[in-house]
Each structure stands twice: as structure tokens, then as C-alpha cells.
Amino acid sequence: MSQAIFIGLATIDIVYSVEKFPRTNTKVAAKSQEVYVGGPATNAAVTFAHLGGRAALVTAAGRHPLSHMIREELRKYSVQLIDLNPDFDEVPPVSSVSVDAKGQRNVVSANSSRVPAPQTGPQTAPQIAIDRNLLRQARSVLVDGHYMPACLAWAKAARENQTPVVFDGGSWKEGTGELLASVDTAICSEDFRPPGSSSRDQTIEFLKRAGVARIAITAGAEPIHFFSGETSGTLRVPMVEAIDTSGAGDILHGAFCHFASAGRGFVESLAEAAQIASESCRYRGAREWMSARPTTSAASPR
């Protein structure tokens, strides 16, 4: 059973299903309302665990009553929690998500700004501790750029330990340039734009110059553009009748880590992860798809 460590955001997601998104200064009645635990690193960790691996999540949960939802969710899916700020007693990050009849979504989120970031030196927030024993067991480490000091510390330690580091690039954040120095694989959304980049090709060139060996740019249902050494090209994303795209990108990252940790190649891991992420869009939220795909043991290397 492979081990992976995921560093980044955990949120409480309030999801509304609506026929269409409201215009300015209007109201719409939701067809349904659900509450989930989400966040890029969290959804990826849960996906990895569901597919048969052992996952650890490094995030800030705290001790507010809403934080118990995060802890219970992680327990349910057997994800180990490493809490960056266990004494934080205010409301954790909360996201408001609206999903329309086409499966498209709008998100308003406080993200990691809700919780004081851990530090690498003497500060008011807790300092970062690296679990070296856990890191030695890990086959991969994923960072999503939230709680950047923690992402930097764990990614640097992973690089020193020769553990592959995967970067989930949703948007450029302060510290991302430094983080890329420890990244082996970057899987970024079409919206990810480094400073001075205004196109996908410029983003790929920036990442290559930063020393990232394997790069993929996703764009929802559009083909995935990838680069690895002398190999580059596109991967078709399987077409499905989407009900909800929430968390699909996070699921792709978690599934990629699962297949890559099991010894699959970069492109093969991407293709299999895209299949799972696409299938997840046929269900609501970031968990319902799991009921249709039973837990499996780690895939065997080919």
C-alpha cells in the first residue's frame, strides 16, 4: 500500500444546486443544499485513500466546532491529519459553491486567509514540524500552495529525501516561484498564470525554466496538454454527461498521485486520473462518485 502526503487547504463547502446563476441584485431558490468537506489537498488526499493508498493531510483544522467536520471526514476516509494550527478556535475556511443545471459552478471562498499561516521561524503562528519518518515512507508529496510556508518546508524536505513532489497549480500565489524549485511534476489549471505569462505555452515555458520535469495543463473537458522531457502532446478527456464538476481537478490530482506512486508512467497516470475525474462529474459533490467505484488496492506497476 503506497503512502502519500498532501499539504494544503481544507474547507467547509456549502453547495447549492440552482437552475441558473443569479444576476446582480437578484435571488434564486436552491433546488438542494449540501455541506461537504473540501479543499484541493483534502479532496486529493481522500481520493488517494479511496483508491487504496495511505494518505496524510497537512493542513490547518483548529478546534472550532465546524472543524470537527473536517476531522470526522478524514477519519471516515482513513486520512491521517497533521494539524498545522490545532489551537486555532475561529471559523475554518468556508466556501459557498453554486452549481447550475449544466454542472458549471461558481465559488466564493475565504481560503487559507482564514487561518494564521504556520511559520518556519519564531512568529505568532505555530512553527512547522516535518515528520521525517512519514516522509521516508511516502512515495509522493503533493502541495497546493495554500499555507505556503508549510508547502515550502515539506516540498524542500521531500526533494532532499528524493521523494517526488507534485504541484497542484490553481493560481499563482506569493511564494510559488520558490516552491517550484522543489517540484518534479506540475499539474496546473488553464487559469494558472506565472508573472509575465499570458498563454498556456508561456506558462509551460516558465515551468520548464523553473526546472519542473513534467508538466500538464488541464482545461476542464478540453484536452490536457503535457510535457515530459522530449515528449509532449495532448490527452483527450473522456466525455461524460456532467452533473457537477466540483472537485474534479482535485480528484484528478489525487488519482494521479495514486497511479504514479504505484509505478505508472507520467502520461499513463494522467490518462487514468482523467478517466476517474471525468467519471466523478456524473455525480454530485466530490464524494458521491466513490459509491459507484469501490475502494481498490494500489495498482500494480506495469
| Sign of the dihedral through C-alpha 130, 114, 15, 246 | negative
DSSP 172-228: --TTHHHHHTT-SEEEEETT---TT--SHHHHHHHHHHTT-SEEEEEETTEEEEEEE
Does 302 score more than 50 pLDDT?
no
Residue 237 CA, distance from chain mean position:
18
Return the higher-pLDDT residue of 46 and 90. 46
CA nearest to 17, candidates 7, 25, 28: 28
Q: Which residue stretches of the chain are H helix?
A: 40-50, 67-76, 132-137, 148-160, 176-180, 200-209, 248-261, 266-280, 289-292
pLDDT-based confidence at residue 117 (cuts at 50, 70, 90): low
- pLDDT tens across 9-68, in order? 999 989 898 999 988 999 999 998 888 899 999 999 999 999 999 999 999 999 999 999
Catalogue all structural domains in the chain, each as residue range(s) with its CATH number: 3-292 (3.40.1190.20)
Mean pLDDT of the chain: 90
Asked if 298 and 28 touch (Cβ cutoff 8 Å), the reply is: no
Centre a 10 Å sphere on the Cβ of residue 38 and count the other Cβ atoms it contains: 28
CB-based contacts of 241, cutoff 8 Å, min separation 6 = 282
Residue 14 φ then ψ, to 5°: -100, 115
Asked if 227 and 261 touch (Cβ cutoff 8 Å), the reply is: no
- pLDDT tens across 186-229, in order? 999 999 999 999 999 999 999 999 999 999 999 999 999 999 98
Distance CA 264, CA 256 (A): 9
Distance CA 175, CA 282 (A): 35
Asked if 8 and 176 touch (Cβ cutoff 8 Å), the reply is: no
Does 124 score more than 80 pLDDT?
no
The helices-and-strands tally (H runs, E runs) of the chain is 9, 13
pLDDT-based confidence at residue 116 (cuts at 50, 70, 90): low
Distance CA 175, CA 134 (A): 25
Mean pLDDT of 118-134: 70
